[in-house]
Amino acid sequence: MGDPRRFSVQVEVLLREGIADPQGATIERALPALGLDGVTAVRAGKSFRFDVAATDDADALARATVVADRLLANPVIEESVVTVLPARTPA
Amino acid sequence: MAPRIGVVLFPGTNCEHDAVLALTRMGADAELVWHGATTLGHYDALILPGGFAHGDYLRPGAIARFSPVMGAVADYAASGGPVVGICNGFQVLTEAGLLPGALQKNRGLRFVCATVAVRVERDDTVLTGGVPVGTELAIPINHFEGNYTCDATTLAQLRDEGRIVLRYVDNPNGSVDDIAGVCNAGRNVVGLMPHPERASDPLLGSQDGTVLLGALLRSAGAAAPAA
């Protein structure tokens, strides 16, 4: 116990609610032209995957959240969602 | 003595020579400062010019903020030294927390390259000192992410404290409250999206940028230690 292991994490960065998202709006407007109706609330963002050394899931989440808050997202206009991914099956 | 102006060069900056040339022709002793520099105290003013610092990877300014020079820029600003961020330099200053708000993608996802009219709103900053409020200047903009954004509290604070330095006459990019430039509480750090160095010669179509650069040189002269 206590030895660092590597955890895979995903950070999703989206514009905050209330911040105009012209990319999402443009994608949404394009869909009906393809005959794809009924798609709403499209939001465009970024997704990051990386591995982090941590002792457990909670530690991995905490470390990845620091990465998200300090670099990956600009809190003035963006919000981030950090997820610790399920452990991969050992090779 | 001519004021010494440091023009900070990040990998990917591309307006540094324009800034140095414009300032030099106005009588300044301007030179490039590599982003690895950590000693800036001998300059009378600093400019963070336009371009794509560190490729604008992640977000404009997001990586540049961690360049070694930025700690020295923050110290320089904290000691009252004049610091001006132009376009990408403005984005770097917001990412670094030296100016409030953020620059997001332009309204309608439009890249805008045009000479626009901007109105001087303050005459008490390092970039507009002595320039009459209401003066309209024709200065080029050239950006995709120049749509100034901040929360309502910050906007109210900027208005109350008179920190909106420049406004667009005809908003080209969706910026909140037509904001083209803001300053910090000390009025010695100014960020603006328009490029004054590109309006510094009749051949460029406008010399109005020299009004702002001239004010900066006066500020730099005032900030210079007595010889």
CB-CB under 8 Å, B109 with A26: yes
Please write the tens of the pLDDT for every residue from B156-172. Answer: 999 999 999 999 999 99
Helix runs in A31-73, H state only: 57-67
Q: Looking at the partner chain, which of B58, B102, B109 has a beta carbon nearest the beta carbon of A23? A: B109
A47 inside 8 A of chain B by CB:
no
Q: What does the domain layout of chain B look like in residue ranges? A: 4-223
- What does the pLDDT read at residue B210? 98
**Disruptive mutation site among B104, B109, B171 for chain A (greatest number of A CBs within 10 Å):** B104
**Residues B25, B117: contact at Cβ < 8 Å?**
no
Continuous segment of H or E residues that includes residue A12: strand A5-15
DSSP class of residue A65 equals H
Place of tokens 């100014």: B190
Q: pLDDT exceeding 90 applies to what percent of chain A?
A: 78
- What does the pLDDT read at residue A17? 87
In chain A, what residues touch B105 (CB-CB under 8 Å)?
22-23
Name the CA radius of gyration of chain A, rounded. Answer: 17
Bridging pattern class, strands B29-34 and B4-9: parallel
Catalytic choice (B15, B16, B87, B183): B87
Closest residue on chain A to B174 (Cα): A20
Annotated catalytic residue B150 = no
CA–centroid distance for B42 within its chain: 20
CA distances from B153 to A76, B158, B166, B177 (A): 12, 9, 19, 13
Q: In this structure, which amino acid lies at residue B165?
A: V
Please write the tens of the pLDDT for every residue from B71-87. Answer: 999 999 999 999 999 99
Please write the tens of the pLDDT for every residue from B40-81. Answer: 999 999 999 999 999 999 999 999 999 999 999 999 999 999
Nearest to B125 by CA among B52, B218, B26: B218
* Alpha-carbon gap, residue B194 to B183, rounded angstroms: 14
Please write the tens of the pLDDT for every residue from B18-36. Answer: 999 999 999 999 999 999 9
CB-CB under 8 Å, A15 with B109: no
**Disruptive mutation site among A74, A78, A79 for chain B (greatest number of B CBs within 10 Å):** A74
Annotated catalytic residue B197 = yes
Please write the tens of the pLDDT for every residue from B110-166. Answer: 999 999 999 999 999 999 999 999 999 999 999 999 999 999 999 999 999 999 999
Q: Looking at the partner chain, which of B59, B105, B109 has a beta carbon nearest the beta carbon of A74? A: B59
- What does the pLDDT read at residue A4? 82
Annotated catalytic residue B195 = yes
Shortest Cα distance, chain A CAs vs residue B121, angstroms: 24
- What does the pLDDT read at residue B226? 43
* Alpha-carbon gap, residue B22 to B15, rounded angstroms: 11
Q: Structural domains in chain A?
A: 5-19+45-84 (3.30.1280.10)
List the CATH code of the domain at B4-223. Answer: 3.40.50.880
Which comes out higher in pLDDT, residue A4 or B145?
Answer: B145
pLDDT surpassing 50 at residue B217: yes
Does residue A85 sit in helix, strand or coil?
A: coil
**Residues B124, B222: contact at Cβ < 8 Å?**
no
CB-CB under 8 Å, A76 with B102: yes
Name the CA radius of gyration of chain B, rounded. Answer: 16
In chain A, what residues touch B182 (CB-CB under 8 Å)?
none
DSSP-assigned states of every residue in chain B: -PPEEEEEE-TTB-SHHHHHHHHHHTT-EEEEEETT----TT-SEEEE-SB-GGGG-SSTTTTGGGSTHHHHHHHHHHTT--EEEETHHHHHHHHTTSSSSEEEPPGGG--EEEEEEEEE--SSSTTTTTSPTT-EEEEEEEESS-EEE--HHHHHHHHHTT-EEEEESS-SS--GGGEEEEE-TTS-EEEESS-GGGSSBGGGTB-THHHHHHHHHHHHHHHSPP-
In chain A, what residues touch B147 (CB-CB under 8 Å)?
20
In chain B, what residues touch A76 (CB-CB under 8 Å)?
94, 100-102, 149-151
Q: Is the dihedral of CA B160, B163, B167, B172 positive or negative?
A: negative
CB-CB under 8 Å, B174 with A74: no
* Alpha-carbon gap, residue A54 to B176, rounded angstroms: 42
Report CA dihedral (B167, B126, B191, B227) to the nearest 10 degrees. 160
Which residues of chain B from 78 to 97 reach within 8 Å of chain A, CB to CB?
Answer: 94-95
In chain B, what residues touch A20 (CB-CB under 8 Å)?
104, 107, 147, 174
